[in-house]
Structure 1
């Protein structure tokens, strides 16, 4: 907030870029508690307000500056949502959304975690909508959902509820401030700044890292979120391509139309970005670049998948991969989406349909991912899973036995963990170095 007035409605303090520029008062409080106002005081406040409104700030023109400003507003949004949850009745809007996410996606989701998810979803949803609408048209909160790209129908539906007319007044003001911030940015310059990223640093990921460093510097440590350097990603993808060609009889490598590829913890989509880039280069080398749009629609989107549990990386992955395909000449037709899903990769399977609209389409997104888990013959699994020492997925749960007694049993995740510890009936003997430090 580079241009800010802080006031108790008697004293007005004007700040520009964090420095106090002027302080004036409408008057002073008399010993009897009444406020005494002079004409010159009214004129001084009027002058301050006029200067405040007339100040022309330089437009935001770099990705770093925009990320920093977005992070500060997202922090306010997070706090506003958390405070709203504290004062809302059980039938309140935010509490209903919290219950829907907890029931269908993230068990034991706390108000703090939901507020974080909510703030980052709105922030990156609005950013994606602004990128979609371009620099020539202003963004509006009430119509932002319709402007989100076709690559992500789930986010379009979710965003309608989270940012539309149902947003509580205690939160909507900061959402509107985010809209104003994005409208004031020089989007063409920001997107051009994205394009200046080196091979060592993906510009979209760098944007998210910059945002996260200000918004919540502890999130990377708590969630185990670390970004794989571009050279490492490139090597892994090229190595898989080599092995497919030379060991598995797939002369086209990752470009083979029958090879299904999954990143089970795709984050911001860095590995999938590298896969798609290599596929495009392969087609160009083989003189088939002209058939790229048809190839993407028929032979790429149906077989390239990513799963992600955190909302912000999920939205960023869609944004990044959508921009890549657009850059290569592919426009998404209605009804076709990227195969990146918001889901818990370690969730066992299908969920029943929910009555609440929000819970219903979260369930639909999760079930679409479950079909891929259970039915599609995935041949290549790549990526960099979270580096946290402990999984957030419960390995034990309580259930009632036949006689009514309560017993402790292993969950689907618990059974996987126990199976992993054994090889041919013998203990693996593996130790996690993160848990021994």
Structure 2
């Protein structure tokens, strides 16, 4: 009998003894499977295999049974089922425990699935190999179980797994999106488990890592974050910090998270510090094992092959990621892709408006013109402005281009609520400025992870550690920009989401320091029954933009607001007050219809994938020459 035959026979005998004893059948398989994998790794592959049992806080847990390290590297997972349980996910109902669990297991890059008799090897939910022991039952067979060659293939393939090379954006997204979703689920479950344990033991909640992390997250960046929003922010921040680290040339082989965080901080301080904060106390946890899996999987990334020296890779990276990671989140957040042709047109229109109607001959190239995108996304508008200014300076030579781009980098502002697109925006803009020969601002670009609609006079209500203070500076600096920085141009594509009552922040509810609620300016006496339509994110952003450019700074009342939005405010009865206020408070305005000819709601807009007509709205205020 050769080594493999002996190992399988030993497994069969151990499983038979264990299953015929007391206890749960699934648990009875744990030790025999553990021994088989360890012995196979050592005696056949000459590799050290260690199985780490996953923590199970309750009977409804859907985590896999084991994480597997091979020669110290996170390399796969094992899920055990009791004998005679089907391993075919098509037989699971979506609402059953097995169905809910499979939804998670299908996101793993290397999964061994077994009920003792049947063995299946899965990669991201795709079946790649399977085997069946030649016995009808593990509790009743006689003699030694024969070792089928198919099982040798399954075990060898599982324990010899190496990450699939990642050389395209599509492969990168297909790799990180399911793992990011898995990380989000793991963080949410860990947070909820911390709460259950705190309640059961009576211990102080802050002594639990994920409860403390969430409180720090709220205190420093997102004061109103729910559990789900915290888990999503955690996952997107960590995953995109890792992607940015890859783009900076970091080698993920034999690297620790702390090293990645430190490496990021010199060029991407927020991402580096956030990664450090979020991962400081998770070593050995199930979240830590997921992160190890992500890092190991990304270690096969060839960033040069992905980018090919082309910035377009960043343009679509997050758009594709969000579609795969969580399409519902895109709809919930009102985030939609803006075609570069439309963005470029808006940039040119704004430049012309500054020159023709506000008497600024240099337009967007003028040192006096500060620009903000309050819903920055992946930085498409900021990039368009940098490219436009560079193109205008080309006729004066390369030196002029570098100077012009350096200037615009100091005058360009952006706010983004989600850390994933923020990280892409920061990368795209900083690289573009440097490629044009420009210099980045000494203290970094004026790009912030913050809530545009948050009260600019709000602050933290607790003392923060040094690290948290550094992260919270994002929110604090964004609020100072809102209150103190003169802005001549507000441009962008604000989120569209109706039925958004409660999401408008200070614009919708007013400030504790003022009796004035900005959204009330869009209301008209006697028109209240129609004005439910004002509870839309894009309306909140219109009011914020008008406030920021025309009202926020005394004696600085001229400027341009250029937004892409739904055109419903042009003729709907609920928008009478909005139209009246805009007419009274601007000098000129244009609406350019972008809805395909003949298309009417509820057909989806082919460009923006929302069920509403869309247009560019550009409004100017020039008090000195108001006609």
Q: What TM-score range do you get, normalising by the shorter chain?
A: 0.7 to 0.9
1:275 matched to 2:385? The reply is yes
Match of 1:71 in 2: 177
User: Aligned ranges for residues 7-156 of structure 1 at < 5 Å?
Assistant: 7=114, 12-16=119-123, 18-23=126-131, 29-30=138-139, 38=144, 40-41=146-147, 48-54=154-160, 59-88=165-194, 89=198, 90-91=205-206, 92-134=208-250, 140-148=256-264, 150-156=266-272
SS of the residue 1:29 aligns to: coil
Match of 2:487 in 1: 378
Q: CA deviation at 1:208?
A: 1.4
Deviations 1:338-369 (A, max 9, x none): 21101111222241474233653343211111
1:181 matched to 2:288? The reply is no
Match of 1:171 in 2: 287
SS of the residue 1:382 aligns to: strand
Please give the alpha-carbon distance, in whole angstroms, between the structure 2 residues aligned to 1:384 and 1:328.
26
1:345 matched to 2:465? The reply is no
Q: CA deviation at 1:290?
A: 2.0
SS of the residue 2:228 aligns to: helix
Q: State the Cα RMSD in Å.
A: 3.5
Q: CA deviation at 1:295?
A: 5.2
Q: CA deviation at 1:150?
A: 4.2
Instruction: Give the direction of change, closer, same or farther, for the CA distance of 1:58–1:10 in structure 2 (3 Å limit).
Output: same
Q: CA deviation at 1:247?
A: 2.3
8 Å contact kept, 2:252–2:295: no
1:306 matched to 2:414? The reply is yes
User: Aligned ranges for residues 386-405 of structure 1 at < 5 Å?
Assistant: 386-391=495-500, 393=502
User: Aligned ranges for residues 239-254 of structure 1 at < 5 Å?
Assistant: 239-254=349-364
Deviations 1:233-292 (A, max 9, x none): 0001011111222222322221111211111111111111101111111222222x2255
Please give the alpha-carbon distance, in whole angstroms, between the structure 2 residues aligned to 1:246 and 1:37.
93
SS of the residue 2:359 aligns to: coil
Q: CA deviation at 1:213?
A: 1.4
Deviates more, 1:21-30 or 1:249-258: 21-30
8 Å contact kept, 2:249–2:303: no
- Count of residue pairs brought into register by the alignment: 412
TM-score by length of 2: 0.59
Deviations 1:35-63 (A, max 9, x none): 99948549975653333344567522210
User: Aligned ranges for residues 262-341 of structure 1 at < 5 Å?
Assistant: 262-287=372-397, 289-290=398-399, 292-293=401-402, 296-297=405-406, 299-330=407-438, 332=440, 336-341=443-448
8 Å contact kept, 1:24–1:41: no
Deviations 1:84-130 (A, max 9, x none): 01111422222112223334544442212211111111111110111
SS of the residue 2:308 aligns to: helix
Q: CA deviation at 1:322?
A: 2.3
Match of 1:159 in 2: 275
| Structure number with larger C-alpha Rg | 2
Query: Any unmatched runs of 5+ in structure 2?
Result: 1-107, 199-204, 535-567, 575-601, 603-627
8 Å contact kept, 2:450–2:475: yes
> Which structure ranks higher in relative contact order (CA pairs < 8 Å, sequence separation ≥ 6)?
1
Q: CA deviation at 1:10?
A: 7.3
Match of 1:419 in 2: 521
Instruction: Give the direction of change, closer, same or farther, for the CA distance of 1:123–1:99 in structure 2 (3 Å limit).
Output: same
1:255 matched to 2:361? The reply is no
Runs of 4+ in 1 over 6 A off after TM superposition: 135-138, 425-430, 434-437
Match of 1:402 in 2: none
8 Å contact kept, 1:124–1:312: yes
1:230 matched to 2:340? The reply is yes
Please give the alpha-carbon distance, in whole angstroms, between the structure 2 residues aligned to 1:49 and 1:97.
39
SS of the residue 1:265 aligns to: coil
8 Å contact kept, 1:3–1:16: yes
TM-score by length of 1: 0.82
SS of the residue 2:496 aligns to: coil
Query: Any unmatched runs of 5+ in structure 1?
Result: 198-202, 398-408
SS of the residue 1:385 aligns to: coil
Q: CA deviation at 1:171?
A: 0.4
8 Å contact kept, 2:118–2:130: no
